[in-house]
Structure 1
Amino acid sequence: MSQFERRALVASPTAPAQAAAAELADAADWVDPADADVVIALGGDGFLLQTLHTMLDRRRPVPVFGMNLGTVGFLMNEWRRHGLVDRLERAKAFKVTPLLVTVTGIDGRIHQMPAINEVSVLRETRQTAKIEVMVNDRVVLPELACDGILAATPAGSTAYNLSAHGPILPLGSNLLALTPISPFRPRRWRGAILPDKARIQWRVLDPDKRPVSAVADQHEIRDVAQVDIAMDRARELTLLFDPEHALDDRITMEQFIS
């Protein structure tokens, strides 16, 4: 018997993903995602992130196998209608550990949210943001003047982090990337690579005059005073990839793309 006997199918609302879902409608006896052993996600990277976030709310997260019907599809497998059962049996599993982000607003309210790719803080107005950066309760940058700053996991290091000139982190490296966004002062600071057991804290300086928002993947909180970040090892997720298109290989090869 297959380890993925009960399969669920979810699709982005885009026309290509819906058309692909219609093609697969009769390919299996699909079950509700809550009852599945594996979830097949049709769409792009953004939809896959949404699907993974739904897994975080489950007592028993199940693996997700994505097929690309979006644009980039870095976290996805190639879309093919046939041979799905065989692909699932041969798939290579990758564990993804999300970040737990605790945001304190200037009104004192506290919000907690997960981030699978990255968490960032960004200036809300034309005023440059000024942020104190702490690592493991130690102030490492008393004042970073910038458009923002982000912390990325290895799975997310090729996304926003890469576009902000941050480093690509191999899967399994147990590292986090701390990357400034358009830094003004100190001019020569280009970021840091930290062990993923590090506790990161960003404190917004003068948040009334220089308001800042916090974004964890696709969830935004505005007018923040402080952001605390740590790995959430209690909620590990699993992505499945075709052996010939494994995520670790993609991340390695991304370093050689000009």
Structure 2
Amino acid sequence: MPQRIAFLASDAPVAQTARAALVGRYGNCDVDKAEVIVALGGDGFMLQTMHATQALDVPVYGMNRGTVGFLMNRYSEGDLPDRLAAAEEEVLNPLAMRATCVDGSVHEALAINEVSLLRAGPQAAKLRVTVDGRLRMEELVCDGALVCTPAGSTAYNYSAHGPILPIGSDVLALTAIAPFRPRRWRGALVPKSAVVRFEILNPEKRPVMAEADSRAVRNVRSVEIRSEMAVQHHILFDPGHGLEERLIREQFV
């Protein structure tokens, strides 16, 4: 078992109470000196923790003190040493978003789950879609669209009727949100190495915002999305309850 553990918790009282109990039992160290980080909260807090610690190359083990907890393990205090010793590691690559706004400013961000484009006004968005520089759709009229990783495929993507992707698959899902034209288009699968580019048609009249794991950029003119292979997130799961099993199980409920 790692000897140096950093316990982090969301602001929720139940998470803060759990952190106090665990720190009292196992001690605590600074994040930059830890061998493992234990994150207490929900999936949103887990994503925040992974983003905040990505430069440290330290695995993160989540315990659910939130709601859904898809990225988390069950919470308990007494058996933490054994669980950390037996934990299985998944390695995730995030998506890199490069968004250019109407005013010419450029914003970059990483997303572990998905990069989404959403209409920001009363009218539907009109998007032009290219993949690896090749035009694939001249005009997609919709409330929005997203590109997700396998790890994020059960989140917003699944709610938008996108496919659940096996964790080991080298593909990304491109999913429309409430498409109007083409009415029956439900998205596509593209290689993990692909570069997906959305151009917003008539962005002044039909404004669009882009989000990378809930970090928003408004009034975008174009958004380019690719896998960032240089960044690796290490996430720990209890044996038999890793992302691969969870992604399969989610398809049968």
Report the Cα distance in structure 2 between the residues aligned to 1:236 and 1:168, rounded to whole angstroms: 21
Report the Cα distance in structure 1 between the residues aligned to 2:4 and 2:231, rounded to whole angstroms: 22
Indicate the residue corresponding to 1:36 in structure 2. 34
Question: What is the deviation of 1:29?
Answer: 2.7
1:23-56 Cα offsets, whole Å, 9 max, x none, are 1121223111111111000000000000001023
Indicate the residue corresponding to 1:74 in structure 2. 70
Aligned residues: 253
Does the residue aligned with 1:203 lie in a helix, a strand or coil?
Answer: strand
2:133 is equivalent to residue 127 of structure 1: no
State which of 231, 239, 243 in structure 1 corresponds to 2:239: 243
Indicate the residue corresponding to 2:181 in structure 1. 185
Indicate the residue corresponding to 2:112 in structure 1. 116
Does the residue aligned with 1:26 lie in a helix, a strand or coil?
Answer: helix
Question: What is the deviation of 1:148?
Answer: 0.2
State which of 135, 143, 158 in structure 1 corresponds to 2:139: 143
Report the Cα distance in structure 2 between the residues aligned to 1:112 and 1:246, rounded to whole angstroms: 30
Report the Cα distance in structure 2 between the residues aligned to 1:175 and 1:207, rounded to whole angstroms: 29
Does the residue aligned with 2:128 lie in a helix, a strand or coil?
Answer: strand
2:50 is equivalent to residue 52 of structure 1: yes
Does the residue aligned with 1:9 lie in a helix, a strand or coil?
Answer: strand
Structure 1: state its 5+ residue gaps: none
Give the TM-score normalised by structure 2.
0.98
Question: What is the deviation of 1:81?
Answer: 0.7
Give the TM-score normalised by structure 1.
0.96
Does the residue aligned with 1:27 lie in a helix, a strand or coil?
Answer: helix
2:7 is aligned with what amino acid?
L
Report the Cα distance in structure 1 between the residues aligned to 2:153 and 2:46, rounded to whole angstroms: 16
Does the residue aligned with 1:157 lie in a helix, a strand or coil?
Answer: coil
Report the Cα distance in structure 2 between the residues aligned to 1:189 and 1:29, rounded to whole angstroms: 53
Report the Cα distance in structure 1 between the residues aligned to 2:13 and 2:148, rounded to whole angstroms: 31
2:26 is equivalent to residue 18 of structure 1: no
Report the Cα distance in structure 2 between the residues aligned to 1:101 and 1:61, rounded to whole angstroms: 21
Report the Cα distance in structure 1 between the residues aligned to 2:53 and 2:136, rounded to whole angstroms: 35
* Residues 224-243 of structure 1 aligned to structure 2 (within 5 Å): 224-243=220-239
